[in-house]
Amino acid sequence: MDGLIRGLVDATLGGNERRGRDDEDNSRDERSRSSWADVVSGEEQDQNRGGGSSHPSQGRRQNVEENQWENKGERVPTRHPHKEEQEENTYAAKVTQQQDFSESQQEDNDGWETVGKKKPARQSHKVQKEQWQDYKLPASEQHYSDDTETHGNLEPSQLELSGLSEACNKLWELDSNRLVPGNDYQIDCGDGKRVHERADMAEGLLFSWVSDEVFRKPTFARFCSLLDNYNPNEGYKEVVTEEERQEQAAFIEEISRTSVIKYLHKYLVIKDVAPGSYQEFKRMLTSLWFDLYGRGGTSGSSSAFEHVFVGEIKQSGGEQVSGFHNWLQFYLEEAKGTVDYQGYIFPRRRGEIPDSETQLLTIQFEWNGVLKSVSSTLVGVSPEFELALYTMCFFMGREENHIQLGPYNVNVKCYRLDNNRIGSAFPIAES
Catalytic residues: 307, 325, 372
Which residue, 337, 321, 336, 422, is CA-closest to 377?
A: 321
CA distance 393 to 415: 10
CB 132 within 8 A of CB 225: yes
CA distance 315 to 236: 10
CA distance 183 to 357: 11
Give the H/E segment covering residue 410.
strand 408-417
Which residue, 126, 366, 132, 87, is CA-closest to 232?
A: 366
CA distance 384 to 425: 15
Neighbours of 18 (CB within 10 A): 10
User: Distance from CA of residue 93 to its chain's centroid?
Assistant: 16
Within 8 A by CB and 6+ apart from 312, the residues are 232, 233, 234, 295, 296, 302, 306, 321, 322, 323, 324
CA distance 412 to 194: 22
CB 322 within 8 A of CB 85: yes
Half-sphere exposure of 211 (CA within 13 A, CB side): 13
Beta strands in 30-153 (DSSP E): 69-71, 74-76
Q: What is the DSSP string of 379-397?
A: -S--HHHHHHHHHHHHHH-
Neighbours of 346 (CB within 10 A): 26
